């Protein structure tokens, strides 16, 4: 008899077979008597194969095959039938637990490298059940992972030096980077909206140690491997992505989605008009809150998703409606439907809406623009001003905005815009945040009329 209690799922129930085979393969005697494994606390569902190793160690200790470690260990790993240990998700979280409990943390050798990011954790890589036993008993030091400076390789990064012309869009990108603002580019296809968005991670400040650990933890929970690099993550999910792929979920243990993989970085929605409305609506609340909650089958998890949202879109299905080429053959009804999708609640969350025009021939022949490297310096200074004030301008609350110093002319301009542009209260706050960032970029303490005027220009109707 070998029974498992404490809400095991199918993968955990199958641990019985793997544990039995692995114990025999490792050269230990499998105790042939009644075995009950109690996974506590009993009311939390257990999922996945990572319990194999702790179950095997527990069975061996209970049967007297090995001396139980005096203080205990944190262990995580899937067992193969021959006793070797396979990598599992969440090694980084286990290391954080081990550090908190002051216990050594036994992890599959392949998962140990990312766990070494947790400063002060006693992480030991193990290859097989026999090896894990020797490490748990203190007979073997285990494999000490070589510390990695993990972060995310930002896929398809681009440099602003590649962008020709587009001075308005470049300026918008710099402001968005400085204040962390959500930014929407709209314009005809081929005008460089996507290229510009891909330049954003390169002008954002590099991640701090804490942020890097947060990112590594999110990626670890998703079972993604990290590589070297210090730049914020950049994720660009396709409009055909499922809700689970985007916000997290899946069968078994909920897995973080693209939003969480983009934590502390950029979530880029290319061709945002092609995303189904329900998908965009699902994104809205997590983006406001900076975290996403997934609850089902008694499991409730929260994943962080403090992301900067960047979107790109045409203004009609074919994309030529506003480029003056006369090539647009879309019916007024089709254009209307397309626009309606863009006026949904998520698109309302963009702080800045920027029209990008096709590049003129003169610009194409001219020299490339200012490189990302020199823009980064200005962005970093503006961010420092915000840090000193307390928070990123994107996250300024209404109360904080009310307290910031404004020139009276700037306040007048804002008031008249409120009537003229029919701004909502939320839209008004967004203009104020962006104006604050523009002042910060200029090193100005008081927000002036010019700052507000520029911020309003990024608030045009679609």
CA gap 271, 186 in Å, rounded: 9
The count of residues interacting with Zn ion (CB under 5 A) is 5
Q: Give the residue from 308, 316, 290 showing the smallest Cα distance to 350.
A: 308
In this structure, are strands 248-249 and 183-186 parallel, antiparallel, or unpaired? Answer: unpaired
Contacting range for Zn ion; rule: CB under 5 A; set: 233-241, 317-325, 408-416, 418-426: 317-325
Contacting range for Zn ion; rule: CB under 5 A; set: 212-220, 326-334, 350-358, 399-407: 326-334
The interface with Zn ion within residues 61-120 (CB under 5 A) comprises: none
Contact 265, 308 (CB under 8 A): yes
Which residue, 130 or 316, is less far from Zn ion as judged by CB? 316
- CB of 325: closest distance to Zn ion in angstroms? 10
Q: Give the residue from 208, 212, 211, 271 showing the smallest Cα distance to 236.
A: 271
CA gap 12, 15 in Å, rounded: 5
Contacting range for Zn ion; rule: CB under 5 A; set: 15-23, 116-124, 330-338, 353-361: 330-338
Over the Cα atoms of the chain, what is R_g? 27
Contacting range for Zn ion; rule: CB under 5 A; set: 127-135, 240-248, 322-330, 393-401: 322-330
Which residue, 136 or 316, is less far from Zn ion as judged by CB? 316
- CB of 239: closest distance to Zn ion in angstroms? 18
Contacting range for Zn ion; rule: CB under 5 A; set: 69-77, 107-115, 153-161, 318-326: 318-326
DSSP 8-state class, residue 2: E
Which residue, 335 or 421, is less far from Zn ion as judged by CB? 335
Q: Give the residue from 202, 217, 97 showing the smallest Cα distance to 157.
A: 202
Q: Give the residue from 305, 155, 294, 332 showing the smallest Cα distance to 235.
A: 155
The interface with Zn ion within residues 112-141 (CB under 5 A) comprises: none
- CB of 338: closest distance to Zn ion in angstroms? 8
- CB of 240: closest distance to Zn ion in angstroms? 21
- Single out the residue of 215, 269, 328, 438 in contact with Zn ion (rule: CB under 5 A): 328
DSSP string, 151-206: E---TT---GGG--S-HHHHHHHHHHHHHT--EEEE--TTSSHHHHHHHHHHHSPP
Which residue, 211 or 323, is less far from Zn ion as judged by CB? 323
- Single out the residue of 18, 263, 264, 321 in contact with Zn ion (rule: CB under 5 A): 321
Say what the alpha-carbon torsion angle 97, 99, 102, 104 is, to the nearest 10 degrees. Answer: 90
Which residue, 140 or 322, is less far from Zn ion as judged by CB? 322
Q: Give the residue from 441, 434, 437 showing the smallest Cα distance to 456.
A: 434
Contact 235, 261 (CB under 8 A): yes
Cα 301-305-308 angle, rounded to 5 deg? 170
- CB of 317: closest distance to Zn ion in angstroms? 6
Which residue, 335 or 411, is less far from Zn ion as judged by CB? 335
Asked if residue 318 binds Zn ion (CB under 5 A), the reply is yes
Asked if residue 181 binds Zn ion (CB under 5 A), the reply is no
> What number of other Cβ atoms are within 10 A of residue 301's Cβ?
16
DSSP 8-state class, residue 225: P
- Single out the residue of 19, 47, 316, 382 in contact with Zn ion (rule: CB under 5 A): 316
Q: Which two tokens stand for residue 87?
A: 């990598």
Contacting range for Zn ion; rule: CB under 5 A; set: 34-42, 284-292, 312-320, 415-423: 312-320
CA gap 187, 185 in Å, rounded: 7
Which residue, 149 or 327, is less far from Zn ion as judged by CB? 327
Asked if residue 334 binds Zn ion (CB under 5 A), the reply is no
CA gap 98, 115 in Å, rounded: 10
Contacting range for Zn ion; rule: CB under 5 A; set: 88-96, 262-270, 329-337, 373-381: 329-337
Residues with Cβ within 8 Å of residue 120, at least 6 apart in sequence: 99
- CB of 328: closest distance to Zn ion in angstroms? 3
- CB of 85: closest distance to Zn ion in angstroms? 57
- CB of 293: closest distance to Zn ion in angstroms? 39
CA gap 115, 233 in Å, rounded: 19
- CB of 333: closest distance to Zn ion in angstroms? 12
Which residue, 115 or 330, is less far from Zn ion as judged by CB? 330
Residues with Cβ within 8 Å of residue 254, at least 6 apart in sequence: 248, 294, 296, 299, 301, 303
- Single out the residue of 330, 379, 382, 396 in contact with Zn ion (rule: CB under 5 A): 330
Contacting range for Zn ion; rule: CB under 5 A; set: 84-92, 263-271, 320-328, 357-365: 320-328
Which residue, 331 or 374, is less far from Zn ion as judged by CB? 331
Q: Give the residue from 46, 43, 69 showing the smallest Cα distance to 57.
A: 69
| Residues engaged in binding Zn ion (CB under 5 A) | 316, 318, 321, 328, 330
């Amino acid at each position: 008899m070998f029974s498992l209690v404490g809400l095991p799922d199918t993968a955990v129930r199958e641990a019985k077979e793997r544990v039995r085979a692995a114990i025999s393969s490792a050269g230990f005697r499998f105790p042939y008597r009644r075995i009950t494994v109690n996974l506590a606390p009993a009311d939390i569902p257990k999922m996945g194969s990572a319990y194999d190793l702790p179950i095997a160690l527990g069975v061996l200790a209970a049967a007297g095959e090995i001396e139980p470690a005096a203080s205990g260990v944190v262990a995580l790993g899937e067992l193969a039938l021959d006793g070797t240990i396979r990598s599992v998700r969440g090694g980084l979280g286990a290391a954080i637990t081990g550090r908190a409990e002051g216990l050594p943390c036994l992890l599959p050798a392949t998962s140990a490298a990312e766990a070494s990011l947790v400063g002060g954790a006693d992480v030991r890589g193990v290859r097989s059940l026999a090896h894990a036993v020797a490490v748990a008993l203190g007979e073997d030091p285990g494999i000490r992972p070589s510390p990695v400076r993990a972060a995310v390789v930002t896929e398809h990064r681009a440099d602003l030096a590649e962008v020709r012309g587009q001075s308005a869009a470049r300026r918008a990108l710099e402001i968005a980077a400085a204040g962390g603002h959500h930014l929407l580019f709209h314009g005809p296809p081929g005008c460089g909206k996507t290229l510009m968005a891909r330049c954003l991670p390169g002008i954002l400040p590099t991640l701090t140690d804490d942020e890097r650990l947060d990112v590594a933890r999110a990626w670890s929970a998703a079972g993604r491997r990290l590589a070297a690099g210090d730049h914020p993550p950049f994720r660009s999910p396709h409009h055909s992505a499922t809700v689970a792929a985007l916000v997290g979920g899946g069968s078994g243990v909920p897995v973080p989605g693209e939003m969480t993989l983009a934590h502390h970085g950029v979530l880029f929605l290319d061709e945002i008009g092609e995303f189904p409305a329900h998908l965009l609506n699902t994104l809205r609340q997590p983006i406001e809150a900076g975290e996403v909650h997934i609850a089902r089958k008694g499991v409730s998890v929260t994943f962080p998703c403090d992301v900067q949202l960047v979107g790109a879109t045409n203004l009609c299905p074919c994309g030529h409606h506003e480029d003056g080429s006369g090539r647009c053959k879309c019916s007024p009804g089709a254009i209307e439907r397309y626009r309606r999708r863009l006026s949904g609640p998520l698109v309302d969350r963009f702080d800045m809406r920027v029209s990008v025009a096709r590049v003129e021939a003169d610009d194409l022949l001219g020299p490339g623009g200012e490189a990302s490297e020199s823009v980064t310096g200005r962005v970093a200074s503006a961010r420092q001003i915000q840090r000193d004030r307390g928070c990123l301008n994107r996250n300024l609350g209404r109360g904080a905005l009310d307290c910031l110093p404004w020139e009276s002319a700037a306040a007048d301009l804002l008031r008249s815009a409120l009537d003229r542009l029919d701004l909502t209260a939320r839209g008004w706050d967004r203009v104020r945040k962006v104006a604050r960032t523009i002042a910060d970029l200029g090193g100005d303490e008081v927000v002036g009329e010019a700052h507000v005027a520029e911020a309003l220009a990024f608030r045009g109707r679609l």
